[in-house]
Amino acid sequence: MATYVIGDVQGCHDSLLALVTKIGFRRTRDRLWFVGDIINRGPKSLETLRAIRGLGEAATVVLGNHDLYLLMVAAGWRKRGKDDTLQPILDAPDADNLLDWLASRPLMHVEGSFAMVHAGLLPQWTIPQARALAGEVEAVLQGAGRQTFLADLAGNTPAEWSDALTGQDRLRCIVNAMTRMRFCTPGGEMEFKHKGPPSNAPAGAMPWFCVPGRQHDSHTVLAGHWSALGLHIGPGFVGLDTGCLWGGKLTAYRLEDGKVFQVAAVEAGK
C-alpha cells in the first residue's frame, strides 16, 4: 500500500487522470490525499469533484479556500468571480449530495508523523491544538450552523490568533490560517496581500513555515495553496502546489519514501 499526497487540482480533471495513471494507483491498495482546492477555475470542476468523491475511503481531502468558496456561493453568501467554473456543479442533479460531501471534509488531517492542511499552521499551534481547532470549524460546517458560519466567513480579521477569541472571529481566524495563509510575522500575525514567491515577503513577515521555533515541528506539514512557491521539500514542510491550473505541473508526493511524481498540465495544451 502507498499513500500519495496530491497538490491543488482546481478542476484539472484530465491532469489528475494522467497523474493517477502515472503512479499506477489502485484504489483497493493505495490511498490518495488531496491538499484542498480540488475545484474551481480549471475546466472540469464537476468531473473532478465527482471523481474524487467516487474514490470513497481511498481518498482523504482537506478543505481549501476554493472549496469553501463553492460552499459560500451555493449558500448565496458570496458573489461569483468572473473566472470561476462552478456553474456545472451548481446545476448538476446531484449538486446537494456533492455539496454535503464537500462540507463534511476535514479542515486538517493528522496521521502518523504527517499533518495535512491546505495552506499552513500558525507558529504557536501544536499539532494537537491545531487538530482540535480544526474540529471546531468542522463541527459548525457539518451541523445546523453551517449557513450562519458561511454568511460571515469572508474577511481578513482577526489576523492574529488568541485563545480568547470566540464566535465567528475565532472560526474565521482558524480558517484563514489553514486555508489562506502564506506569510506571517514571527509572532503569528497573518498577512494576506502578498501572493508572490517567498522573496516577496512583506516587511516584518516571512513564509509561515520559516518562523523559528514553530510549535508543530513534531510533524511534517503537507500543504498546497502557494503556486508561486512551487514544489518545496524541506524540514517539517512539503509544499505541493506546482501551478497545474496555470500551465505548470500536477504533483504527487509518496509518503513512504518521499518520491515525487509529476505530469505536465494536460489542460494547458488544449
pLDDT at residue 236 greater than cutoff 90: yes
pLDDT at residue 270 greater than cutoff 60: no
CB-neighbour burial class of residue 65 (10 A; exposed 0-12, middle 13-18, buried 19+): middle
**14-25 pLDDT tens trace:** 999 999 999 999
- The topology under which CATH files domain 3-269 is Purple Acid Phosphatase; chain A, domain 2 (3.60.21)
**How many helices (H) and strands (E) are present in the chain, helices listed first?**
8, 13
Residue matched to cell numbers 513564509: 207
Residues 202, 183: contact at Cβ < 8 Å?
A: yes
**64-121 pLDDT tens trace:** 999 999 999 999 988 787 889 999 999 999 999 999 999 999 999 999 999 999 999 9
Higher local confidence (pLDDT), 268 or 51: 51
What mean pLDDT do residues 192-202 have? 93
In the numeric block, which cell numbers belong to residue 210?
520559516
Judged by average pLDDT, the poorest of 56-70, 73-87, 147-161, 239-253 is 73-87
Rounded to the nearest integer, the mean pLDDT of the chain is: 96
Rounded to an integer, what distance in angstroms lies between the CA atom of residue 147 and that of residue 38? 22
- Whole-model pTM: value is 0.97
Q: How far is CA 172 from the centre of its chain?
A: 15
pLDDT at residue 200 greater than cutoff 60: yes
Residue matched to cell numbers 515577503: 201
Rounded to an integer, what distance in angstroms lies between the CA atom of residue 103 and that of residue 101? 5
What percent of the chain has a predicted confidence (pLDDT) above 70?
99
- Pairing state of beta strands 220-223 and 114-116? parallel
* Per-residue model confidence (pLDDT) at position 269: 52
**105-154 pLDDT tens trace:** 999 999 999 999 999 999 999 999 999 999 999 999 999 999 999 999 99
Rounded to an integer, what distance in angstroms lies between the CA atom of residue 52 and that of residue 47? 9
**What strands, in cross-sheet order, belong to the sheet with 190-191?**
190-191, 183-184, 206-207
